[in-house]
Amino acid sequence: MALTRRRITIEESPCSLCGTGDEDVMHLFTGCGFSFGVWSIVGQWCNFTHILAFDFSDLLQIHEMVKGGKWAKKVIRGIIMVTCWAIWKSRNDKVFRGITPKVAEVVATVKSCSFLWLKSRSNFANIVWKDWVLNPLYML
């Protein structure tokens, strides 16, 4: 979509992950069936009833609705950012390497990368993997 707006002619390209809809930021992160599966599992893991996002900016504001202190909001914000990165990476793996992504693998990437990010970049150096995979806010 961005290339078309810049008058660069390309073949029509439906979403690489779900095969439906035009592949733009809004669809890829909020309207894609594949991404919906990822967000559903990440939401359950973070103890959200649902992650509702109608626009990409909605995703970037989810952490503001988290009950808890500053660190709870930071942890959730980090998880949202890692999830966006993992979805984008899976899209690129499909387009450029022909690898068909799986929702469970993307969620596993989100959990492991966000764990490593938090463990190395915060005061939570003592977090434990077996507790993290059950509830990312267990230490708060």
CA dihedral 97, 100, 103, 109 (to 10 degrees): -30
Intervals of the chain under pLDDT 70: 1-4, 8-12, 49-50, 52
Three-point CA angle 62, 68, 69, nearest 5°: 100
Distance CA 129, CA 140 (A): 15
Residue-level pLDDT at 54: 73
Residue-level pLDDT at 34: 96
CA 92 to chain centre: 14
Residue-level pLDDT at 121: 86
Dihedrals φ, ψ of 90, to 5°? -65, -35
Q: Give the chain's end-to-end CA distance (angstroms, integer).
A: 42
Residue-level pLDDT at 100: 95
The H or E element that residue 72 is part of is helix 70-97
Which DSSP symbol is given to 7? T
Q: What residues pair up with 14 in beta bridges, in sequence order?
A: 22
CB 41 within 8 A of CB 110: no
Residue-level pLDDT at 4: 65
Distance CA 30, CA 81 (A): 14
Indicate the SS3 state at residue 58.
Answer: helix
Whole-structure pTM value: 0.86
E strand residue ranges, the chain: none
